[in-house]
Structure 1
Amino acid sequence: MKRWGLTIPLPGVPLAEHRKIVEELPDWGYTDVWTSEKAGTDAFTPLALASQWAPRLRLGTAVAPVYTRGPALLAMNAATLAGLAPGRFVLGIGASSEVIVRKWNATEYVAPLRRVRDTLRFLRAALAGEKVSEAYETFSISEFRLEHPVDPPPEIALAALKPEMLRLAAREADCAITNWLAPGDVPRIREQVGPELELAARIFVCPTEDKALARRLGRRLITGYLTVPVYAAFHEWLGRGPDLKPMHDAWKLGDRRKAMELIPDEAVDDLVVHGTPEFCRERVQSYVDNGLSTPIIALIPTGDCPVGQVRRLGPG
């Protein structure tokens, strides 16, 4: 099945005003809605609403961090969504970042690969209705069982950037979710996860013909994300390290404005889709042509009506 996802909530649109938008997404060609969890809405509440607004859409978290909820609470969140949308919910989990986990949620950020692995294994058992008592490497669980097990259990996706996490996703998850890549980077990811695993990616889309505006907005996002160590390492692995080194050097010196200015236009154009809606659709399709299973559009607002932009970006 050809998939075409959208990140909700849309920027600048209150969650309470999303019902009509979400109801119409299938008619515009969208098959999925996915959430994130940073400093806005949580990952689960928008999907709970969407599950009742649009029964044809698949729902996914991209992602729910494994550190900011206890394992049992994460299982309960997932079971709740899976019960609201049987067979239509994908639980995407990931390590998130030290900023979100330690600085914002006052939780230690230790051994992310092992913590994600252990959480995945716990969730597999718990969501299957098993009573779990297990000493995992990074935490222990004693006699936990969901009061309301779900059938079928939801699929589990792993957020993964570098080879070890990507290979873990290929071995033990139903899907890998990645982020901040260009169409030409997709084959490198595919080499790690193999040809069969579902591969999803959030793609930042700025539907405007004003290149200067798109690049300015793109630079803001790139400095916000790609200066985070895990993303910096990801792009070093992808081969984009030399292009982004001047940005990193300026950022480390505390010169945020200079850091943005030093991102090459080519890097922005690689990582942020911009242009007419028709061009943007073709560019998103090029990710799929290179091996992506599920593109997840993240709309970068330009001041125009986001609802109209979402409608025009749908494949119809």
Structure 2
Amino acid sequence: MKRWGITIPLTGVPLTAHRELIERLPDLGYTDAWSAETAGTDAFSPLLLASQWAPRLRLGTAIVPVYTRGPGLLAMSAATLAEVAPDRFVLGIGTSSPVIVNQWNAAEFTEPYGRTRDTLRFLRSALAGEKVTERYPTFAVDRFKLERVPPKPPKIMLAALRPGMLKLAAREADGAITNWLAPTDVPKVRAEVGPEVELVARIFVCPTEDADAARALGRMLISSYLTVPVYAAFHEWLGRGELLAPMHKLWAAGDRKGANAAIPDEVVDDLIVHGSLDACRERVRAYTENGLDTPVIALLPTGGDPAAQVEGLAPR
């Protein structure tokens, strides 16, 4: 096991109150801190703080949507992190979802594969300090050049679920980022990217021995995420289509409560890590034993002390 990551910021903890914990992460055994971007903090600000609080951590975005910033702004944001954390910042980009892109950010969610590919190619050029004038298939850029070129371009990883995007990540990016999978799903994903490509996954961890509470929270998350078309297709590909069919039917009919209840325990237990701290840590390790390079724990709220839970989930 080489890498062990945590998602920041922690739910319910003010951003500035993270300093003491983040300073301790490397000594606890964490190698990585990764952010996310939905409707909480933006992806870059927590990493900017962490870059100063814990200079040994690798920092990554998982992920920044390719639609919600213009290509130039995305390059500037990435270059800023690459400047303050040279050789320690990984830019993870991806499509996000139609809700986040269209309904929350008033952008058009079109040609997700092409937009991700074109954004990756633009960023490669821009972050290397080139002046970019290019008509890509999904957008055009005219005479963009960074005024502050990072000392070393950051690595760029792609959010990827199914074979097309996974193969693009293997072919043109520096790694693939995935989520919402079980340890036993990792070999199927790994087969698409090959043995040499770094594979990162966010893993949802609910450290409580109250299985009913953990499953109730897990069901709400699963119905919210796995009804999104790209995740529905992902789990169809992974082989959970039949198990999740009742959830999809009830969700489409507007019965949210019924959809949650229709999710089998085995699906929740596959996708949500729960139990004692020791049991959760070993379950996360099972992902690495099945071929995952970088597990990134996303700590779910249990009412316990999140800092103590992060400490308890550190690798042994």
TM-score interval, normalised by the smaller of the two chains: over 0.9
Aligned residue number for residue 44 of structure 1: 44
The residue correspondences of 1:47-86 to structure 2 (distance < 5 A) are 47-86=47-86
Q: Which residue of 2 aligns with 1:87?
A: 87
Equivalent in the alignment of 1:131:
131
Query: Residue 275 of structure 2 corresponds to which residue in structure 1?
Result: 275
Superposed, 1:96-175 pairs within 5 Å as 96-175=96-175
CA distance in 1, matches of 2:178, 2:223: 18
**Rounded Cα–Cα distance in structure 1 between residues aligned with 2:282 and 2:151:** 38
**Aligned AA (1:87):** D
Q: CA deviation at 1:11?
A: 0.7
Q: Secondary structure at the match of 1:287?
A: helix
Tell me the equivalent position of 2:225. 225
Code of the aligned partner of 2:215: R
CA drift of 1:95 comes to 0.5
The letter of the residue matching 2:268 is V
Letter in 1 for 2:177: I
TM (norm. structure 1) is 0.99
Question: Hey, what does 2:24 align to over in structure 1?
Answer: 24
5+ long unaligned stretches in structure 2: none
**SS of residue matched to 2:130:** coil
Q: Alpha-carbon deviation of 1:16?
A: 1.5
**Is residue 179 of structure 1 aligned with residue 179 of structure 2?**
yes
Counterparts of 1:220 and 1:307, CA distance in 2:
24
- Report the counterpart of residue 3 of structure 2 in structure 1: 3
* Count of aligned positions: 316
Equivalent position amino acid for 1:174 in 2: D
TM-score (norm 2): 0.99
User: 1:85, CA displacement in angstroms?
Assistant: 0.2
Q: Which amino acid letter does the alignment assign opposite residue 56 of structure 1?
A: R
Instruction: Indicate yes or no: 2:194 matched with 1:194.
Output: yes
Task: Tell me the SS of whatever aligns to 1:18.
Answer: helix
One-letter identity of the residue aligned with 1:177: I
Distance apart, 1:150 and its partner CA: 1.0
- Once residues 12 and 260 of structure 1 are traced to their aligned partners in structure 2, the CA distance between those partners, rounded to angstroms, is 24
Q: How far apart are the structure 1 equivalents of 2:221 and 2:21?
A: 25
Displacement of 1:232: 0.5
Could you list the structure 1 runs, at least 4 aligned residues long, displaced by more than 6 angstroms after superposition. Answer: none
Distance apart, 1:81 and its partner CA: 0.1
Which whole-Å CA distance do the structure 2 matches of 1:247 and 1:107 have between them? 29
- For residue 99 of structure 1, report the CA deviation from its aligned partner: 0.3
* Post-superposition offset of 1:152: 1.1
The residue that corresponds to 1:315 in the other structure is: 315
Q: For residues 210-261 of structure 1, give each alpha carbon's deviation from its aligned partner in whole angstroms, at most 9, with x where no partner exists.
A: 1111111111110111111110110001000100111111101111111111
Question: Cα offset for 1:151?
Answer: 1.8
**What is the distance in 2 between the residues matched to 1:118 and 1:213?**
43
The residue type paired with residue 236 of structure 1 is: E
Shift of 1:57: 0.3
* Aligned partner letter, 1:281: R
Letter aligned with residue 264 of structure 2:
P
* Residue-by-residue CA offset, 1:12-60 (whole Å, 9 max, x unaligned): 1011111111111111111000001000000000000000000000000
